[in-house]
Amino acid sequence: MSAMNRKIIKALAETISKKVEHNKTETECLIREFYVLLGEQVSPGKESHGLDKGRFRGILHSMFGMTNDMMMDGFRAFDKDSDGFISLEEWIEGLSVFLRGTLDEKIQCYRVYDLNADKYIAREEMFHMLKNSLFRLPTEEDPDEGVKDLVEIAMRRLQDTYHDGQVSVEEFDEAVKEENLMLEAFGTCLPDASSIEKFEQRVFQEQLEQ
Amino acid sequence: MGQTLTRAAQWTTSTSGSGKLESTSVNESLLKEILGFVEDFSSKHPEEAALLFEEPLQWSTTLEGSDFKTGYDIRDSAVQSHEKDGEGQPLLQLAPPDVSVRSFSQLSQLLHLAEDRKLKELQTCLEENRDPVAKILGPSFAAHLKREGARPEVLSPEEKMTQDDSATDSNTKIKLLALIQNADKQILSKLVEEITKQAELNPTAVKDEVELLKQRCTEGEKKLLKSLRYTSDFEFSNGCRSPLWRQALGEMCYLVIEPCDCETLYITCSIAGVFLNGGRTQEADESGYEQTSDVYEDLVTLLRSRSPHFADNINNQVFAVQEPLSTQKIQHVELVDGEEQGQPQRSSEKQEKNVHEKARQQQTVNRTGGKKKYEPYLSKAEEKKPRKSSGEKKRLEQGAKTKMKTGLPVSSPGRLSSQKNEAEDKNPRKSSGEKKRLEQGAKTKIKTGLPVSSPGRLSSQKKKSSAGVCGEHFSDTSSESEEEEEQQKRHPESNTDPLSEYWQIQKLVKYLKRADQTATVLVLCGLMDFDLTNEACQIAIRDAGGLEILINLLDTDEVRCKIGSLKILRKISLNKQIQWSIVDMGGLQSMVKNLDAREKELKALAAETIANVAQFHRARRAVRHNDGIKKLVKLLDCGPNSTNLNANLEKDVEVARCGVLALWSCSKNTKNKEAIRKAGGIPLLGRLLKSPHEDMLIPVVGTLQECASEENYRTAIITEGMIKDLVKNLSRNNDELQMHCACAIFKCAEDKKTRELVRKYKGLHPLVSLLSKADNKQLLAAATGAIWKCSISMENVVIFQEYKALETLVGLLMDQPDEVLVNVVGALGEFAQIPANKATIRKCGGIKLLVNLLTKSNQMLLVNVTKAVGICATDKDNMV
């Protein structure tokens, strides 16, 4: 790595670290990780699109052990400007929530559940997300009954105040604060503690040793 | 009782209609079991025992009027109980030789009165009431009970609704029904155990044969049979699938076989051999057990004689089949072993990774699968066998076989449904019984990555444990009588319809059995929406087999599932019966494991639940044996005590609080006290004693006062400077906290140093002030006790006098429970060491009150009274 690049990364880290939970060194590590993942020549100066959807899913799977296809659309939560790519800043901000996020920040995983991005989680969206979560019995009369019941539980918890069959971010927020288990109600979209630990260890430790 | 009586009991065939119970060993042990159940019933289940029978049980008794004592109206030879129903009819009526009884409480009382004749009484009662359950619960309930394998949950709601006018009544009935069913199962399984001692049921041979034949059901032109399945997916721990009462007759399982060229065959496999039956299918009807053919030595022989197609083909194939099967099995094991060691044998790189993953997940599956805890309860002899390894191996084989048979490249865990469908297409034997179910179950687990047991297994565990667990429950409660005194917590029934809640809960629990992680958490949230402190809800969860699932969840890696599970467990574990069940299922072990989890919330919940469960000796011992005491003590280390904490420290404090709660429950066991001390718990408790929060102080002081029965602790309480804090907390306005503090001082103040310290920290005045709280007897007993012990030092008596303690104490000599009186009189004895006080006692009218107490029977009290009276008698004025 050239001295030039190192300098640029340092400078970048300086600015970005102010916005996130990570300190400068850690941010630097995350920046490096980003470029490694991008698989491109480390050239922070060069304009780059960032991580595309496919690669992002791969990362979620391999690094955080997240497997649910639908939920791997955490992409939408990361890709804040919705340009189809995750830029360096989006990457670090997203990871910051992943690794150190407060409950309020994590509640933003709501965006993952809002499949059509209309700011509401509708009953149909819930159904869609939950439809494979119960192993079906071959004898079942109405195979959807269980899933419908799950949606009912969720609706009851999420307090659909207007009874319009959809849940707003405020309602979601309120319900999660009452019962934290509702945070990932419709599928795992945040990494668990052990994979976070592994990731931090790998990215932060390794690079410090360098 | 229903099944036991109608099926297992050996009746003489009599033309007169009312049969007699033959005097066989089976009947004898059966009667003893029932006797045990009925005798203890009213003490264990007072609420259910009070329920009126639909019809009275009537029989001719050998008891006479003179056998009845208090609680009965005895006129000439006729007897009526004082206990009456709503219409004033007595619950027990005797007009020799006929007796009629209308509730369990009367029934067990009667049996107690019968003393050595009770077995005979019970026998006559059963002989003359051939269907007691129908009389007790009414015909429709009993009919339900008789339906084989039936459990309360399969009773349709309408059926129940029509029975009873009031919801609570039916609620009690359901509970009674469940109790009877459990006892029924328990007795039957004991009986089977006894019988199997005489004649070994050996289902392995049958199982092997069935497996072999199953292999030949699928393969195109060569197939021997169209299909073959067991009638029941549920397998008992002894390998049998027939209901317990049929096992008692030597029957092991039932098969439905469709041969290629003739009608469906319904087959019974028994010890004697195999034979056709009258069409036993899955439906729980009673007909169809009877033998309708000759007995054949094995299945192949029977099939040969019935199906020409089978006979033609089996000759060519059977050996060819046997060979590859056995080698195949060995290969499977090796294959899986290889995977476990991380040496995937797939060629493509992608697959390699997946196999790896699968193997890893399978390990977790096996871990949970292999060590199922409930199996040992059915047979004590089997308990010692190393089940774990054999179970694990079997599972491995099955898991591996699935892979081989379906021949699928192992797909990534993400693509669930496709894999399932594909597997099913290639394997169109959906109905082929348990094994297939297991395979599918294993697949699901692998797919979802959530090591919850497969539906098949779970349901079997459910039944197994309910029989086993209750067995333990009944036998143990009777052996640990002191535990029974611990108050069973009963909660007011909520106003919502108990029946509909019952069904909803059952439904949710059933979902849990086939839910992935996300659905599991949602269902758990759904369960939390119920009033889990309501006993009906607690029982509903247990009856549906929910406890097993909740406990199994604790062994997974899914933090959210664990948290959800514990949030439910901590509430339902307030129920005594549930506590027993949890302990029997090894639930404490799983909870203890979570005490050193990374997540604070999880630790706190686990500790809180342990605190609720550890309400009896065996549970407390289990905590210690699983190294729980050490782990709990570790939780106490939570940093500084302070009123303003940030969120993180607050969590630590909560963890510590739950840890103390658990230690408090555990500390009622002497060995645990020692274990807490050894784990370094005392200084940590001392630190927490400085906490400003009452919800922390109560369990801390509670634990300390509990442990202060030990010399070690009393010394440590002084050396760690805890007396000061105990005294300080005496003045807090919280009855419970004050009570524990006073109690701790009571126990420690035998020691002179403690008495001096209490005085030094100005604890004597607060103790006297507590005497004004005469309504709270526990508090009063603790306070008077502390005063008594502190008054052993004369310096203290002088100070007590400044607060007019003596006058107040004399005032307490009337209308107080013995616990209080013992201490009050003890204190008076000490006070009277000072001559002036003797006069005071007299002036307050204490002498007469003391003398009155001499008529009491409490020994401790008498010792103290005589001592006090003796000292007072040294004053001549007192003798007047």
The ipTM is: 0.88
Q: Which of A7-11, A102-106, B291-295, B578-582 has the highest mean predicted lDDT (pLDDT)?
A: B578-582
Locate A130 and state its tokens: 């939950």
CA distance B183 to chain A (A): 31
The pLDDT of residue B113: 80
B326's CB contacts (< 8 A; 6+ apart) are none
Is the per-residue pLDDT at B447 higher than 50? no
Task: Pick the more confident residue, B2 or A160.
Answer: A160
**Which pLDDT band, with edges at 50, 70 and 90, does B593 fall under?**
very high
Q: Are B490 and B534 in contact (CB under 8 A)?
A: no
Report the pLDDT averaged over residues B566-570.
95
| B56 in Cβ contact with B63 (< 8 Å) | no
pLDDT reported for residue B496: 55
Segment among A168-182, B227-241, B394-408, B551-565 with least mean pLDDT: B394-408
pLDDT greater at residue B116 or residue B394: B116
Q: Would you call B330 an interface residue with chain A, using a CB distance cutoff of 8 Å?
A: no
Pick the closest to residue B258 from B206, B293, B218 (CA basis). Answer: B218
pLDDT (0 to 100) of residue B757:
93
> Chain A residues with CB inside 8 Å of B506's CB?
none
Mean pLDDT of B766-786: 92
Rounded to whole angstroms, how far apart are CA atoms B594 and B600?
10
- Residues of chain A found within 8 Å of residue B448, distances taken between Cβ atoms: 135
Average pLDDT over residues B618-632: 94
What burial letters (b/e) apply to B341-356, b meaning 16+ CB within 10 Å? eeebeeeeeebeebbb
Determine which helix (DSSP H) or strand (DSSP E) holds B56, and give its type and residue range.
Answer: strand B52-60
A44 touches chain B (CB under 8 A): no
The stretch B671-676 carries a mean pLDDT of: 94
Instruction: Tell whether B522 is within 8 A of chain A (Cβ).
Output: yes
* Rounded-to-integer distance, Cα A167 and Cα B403, Å: 42
Mean pLDDT of B91-95: 82
The DSSP bridge pattern shows strands B98-103 and B72-75 to be unpaired
Q: Is B597 on the interface with A (CB under 8 A)?
A: no
Q: CB B511 to CB A149 under 8 A?
A: yes
Residues of A in contact with B516 (CB under 8 A): 132-135
Q: Do A153 and B430 touch (CB under 8 A)?
A: no
Examine the pLDDT at B782 and tell me if it is beyond 60.
Answer: yes
Is the pLDDT score of B656 beyond 60?
yes
> What mean pLDDT do residues B568-587 have?
94
The alpha-carbon gap from B141 to the nearest alpha carbon of chain A, in Å, equals 27
Out of B58-62, B273-277, B359-363, pick the least confident. Answer: B359-363
At B131-187, the pLDDT tens digits run: 777 777 776 665 655 554 444 444 444 444 444 445 566 777 777 778 877 877 777
**Identity of the residue in B511, B521, B526 whose CB atom sits nearest the CB atom of A134:** B511
B516 vs A132: CB contact, 8 Å cut-off?
yes
Tell me the shortest Cα–Cα distance from B349 to chain A, in angstroms.
Answer: 15
Which residue does chain A place closest to B600, by CA atoms? A193
Note whether B847 contacts A: Cβ–Cβ < 8 A.
Answer: no
What backbone torsions phi and psi does residue B73 show, to the nearest 5 degrees? -90, 120
Give B256's pLDDT tier (boundaries 50, 70, 90).
confident
- How far apart, in whole angstroms, are the C-alpha atoms of residue B864 and residue B841? 15
- Whether A104 and chain B come into contact, CB under 8 Å, resolves to no
- Beta carbons of B519 and A179 less than 8 Å apart: no
Q: Are B2 and B142 in contact (CB under 8 A)?
A: yes
Neighbours of B662 (CB within 10 A): 32
Tell me how far apart the alpha carbons of residues A133 and B516 are, in angstroms, rounded to a whole number: 5
What's the pLDDT band for B63 if we cut at 50, 70, 90?
A: confident
Pick from B128-142, B573-587, B661-675: least confident: B128-142
Q: Which residue does chain B place closest to A135, by CA atoms?
A: B514
What mean pLDDT is predicted for residues A71-100? 76
- CB spacing of B511 vs A193 below 8 angstroms: no
CATH number of A107-184: 1.10.238.10
User: Which chain B residues are closer than 8 Å to A133 by Cβ?
Assistant: 515-516, 518-519, 522
**Which residues of chain B does A125 touch, with a Cβ-Cβ cutoff of 8 Å?**
none
Nearest to B514 among A137, A156, A185 (CB): A137
Confidence band, pLDDT 50/70/90 cuts, at residue B235: confident
Q: Which of B712, B800, B724 is nearest to B757 (CA)?
A: B724
Q: Do A184 and B519 touch (CB under 8 A)?
A: no
DSSP notation for B192-244? HHHHHHHS---HHHHHHHHHHHHHTTSSGGG-SEEEEEES-S---TTS--S-H
Q: Does A186 touch chain B (CB under 8 A)?
A: yes
What residues have CB less than 8 Å from A3, skipping those under 6 apart?
none
Rounded to whole angstroms, the Cα distance separating B168 from B179 reads 16
d(CA B363, CA B370): 10
Nearest Cα residue in chain A from B418: A132
Candidates B824, B730, B711; CA nearest to B774 is B824
Average confidence (pLDDT) over B78-107: 81
Question: Which residues on A lie below 8 Å from B413 (Cβ)?
Answer: 67
A10: closest CA of chain B, how far (Å):
32
The pLDDT score that the predictor gives to residue B321 is: 40
- Which residues 152-181 in chain A show a CB within 8 A of chain B? 153-154, 156-157, 179-181
Among positive and negative, which fits the CA dihedral B456, B457, B462, B464?
Answer: positive
- Which are the contacts of B197, defined by CB distance < 8 A and separation ≥ 6? none
A201 and B CB contact within 8 Å: no
pLDDT for res A90 = 83
**Cβ contacts of A192 on chain B, cutoff 8 Å:** 557, 559
- B453 secondary structure, DSSP code: P
pLDDT of B339 > 50? The answer is no
Report the C-alpha gap between B85 and B103 in whole angstroms. Answer: 10
Residue pLDDT, tens place only, A109-153: 788 888 887 888 888 888 988 888 888 877 767 778 889 999 989
Inform me whether the pLDDT recorded for B759 exceeds 50: yes
Q: pLDDT > 90: what percent of chain B?
A: 29
CA distance A55 to chain B (A): 16
Q: Is the pLDDT of residue B43 over 70?
A: yes
Does position A25 have pLDDT exceeding 50, yes or no?
yes
What lies within 8 Å, CB to CB, of B352 at 6+ separation is B344, B346
- Above 70 in pLDDT, residue B15? no
- Tell me the mean pLDDT in the region B594-610: 93
Contact at CB, A67 and B413, closer than 8 angstroms: yes
pLDDT tens figures, A155-192 = 888 876 666 778 888 888 888 988 989 888 888 888 87
Residues of A in contact with B564 (CB under 8 A): 181
| pLDDT of residue B564 exceeding 90 | yes
pLDDT of residue B19: 59
Residues of chain B neighbouring A188 (CB-CB closer than 8 A): 517-518
pLDDT tens for each residue of B400-432: 443 333 333 333 333 333 344 444 444 444 344
Give me the mean pLDDT over the B275-287 stretch. 63
Q: Is A132 on the interface with B (CB under 8 A)?
A: yes
Number of A to B CB contacts under 8 A, please give it.
Answer: 89
pLDDT > 80? residue B28: no
Q: Tell whether B568 lies on the interface with A, counting CB pairs under 8 A.
A: no
Q: Which tokens hold the place of B829?
A: 């004895």
**How far, in Å, CA of B454 to CA of B451, rounded?**
9
Q: B641 to each of B680, B716, B718, B730, how far by Cα in Å?
A: 19, 21, 21, 19
**What's the pLDDT at B179?**
80
Q: Tell me how far CA of residue B707 lies from CA of B172, B398, B670, B713, B790, in angstroms.
A: 39, 51, 8, 6, 19
Q: Which CATH superfamily is domain A3-101+192-209 in?
A: EF-hand (1.10.238.10)
Tens of pLDDT, residue by residue over B372-388, are 333 333 333 333 334 44
φ/ψ region of B756 (left if φ > 0, alpha if ψ in -120 to 50, else beta) reads alpha
Which of B200-209, B397-406, B622-631 is least confident?
A: B397-406
Closest CA to B858 of B820, B818, B812, B825: B818
Q: Among the ranges B350-354, B366-370, B484-488, B527-531, which has the highest mean pLDDT value?
A: B527-531
Buried b / exposed e over B133-152, threshold 16 CB at 10 Å, is bbbbbbeebbbbbbbbebbb
Distance of residue B559 Cα from the nearest chain A Cα, in angstroms = 8
Contacts of A64 in chain B (CB under 8 A): none
Chain segment A82-91, per-residue pLDDT in tens: 777 888 888 8
Looking from the CA of B118 toward its CB, the CA atoms found within 13 Å total 19
Chain B, residues 170-229, CB within 8 A of chain A, namely: none
End-to-end CA distance of chain A: 11
Return the closest-CA partner of residue B477 out of B5, B40, B31. B40
Q: Where are the beta strands (DSSP E) in B653-802?
A: none
The answer to whether B514 contacts A153, with C-beta atoms less than 8 Å apart, is no
Across B773-802, b (16+ Cβ under 10 Å) vs e yields eeeeebbbbbbbbbbbbbbbbeebbebbbe
More reliable by pLDDT, A77 or A206: A77
Taking the C-alpha atoms of residue B214 and residue B428, their distance in angstroms, rounded to an integer, is 12
Look at residue B456 and tell me whether its pLDDT is greater than 90: no
CA distance linking residue B778 with residue B729, whole number of Å: 17
- Amino acid identity, residue B465? S
Assess whether pLDDT exceeds 70 at residue B348.
no
**CATH 1.10.238.10 domain span(s) along chain A:** 3-101+192-209, 107-184
C-beta atoms of B430 and A184 within 8 A: no
Q: A180 contacts in B (CB within 8 Å)?
A: 563, 601
Which residues in chain A have their CB less than 8 angstroms from residue B525's CB?
A: 153-154, 157, 179, 181-182, 185
Percent of chain B whose predicted confidence (pLDDT) is above 70: 68
| Cα distance between residue B838 and residue B871, in whole Å | 8
Q: Quick check: B518 and A130 CB within 8 A?
A: yes
Contacts 24+ apart (CB under 8 A), B681-684: B681/B629, B681/B633, B681/B636, B682/B713, B682/B716, B682/B720, B683/B720, B684/B633, B684/B636, B684/B637
Is B559's CB within 8 Å of A156's CB?
Answer: no
Neighbours of B85 (CB within 10 A): 12
Q: What is the arithmetic mean of pLDDT over A3-20?
A: 74
Please indicate whether, in this complex, the C-beta atoms of B519 and A134 are within 8 angstroms of each other: yes
pLDDT digits (tens, 9 = 90+) for B458-474: 333 333 333 333 333 33
Q: Which residues of A touch B559 (CB under 8 A)?
A: 192-193
**Which residues sit opposite B229 in a β-bridge?**
B256
Span B116-132, average pLDDT:
80
Distance of CA B867 to the CA centre of its chain: 47
pLDDT tens digits for range B512-543: 988 988 899 999 999 999 999 988 899 999 99
pLDDT of residue B111: 81
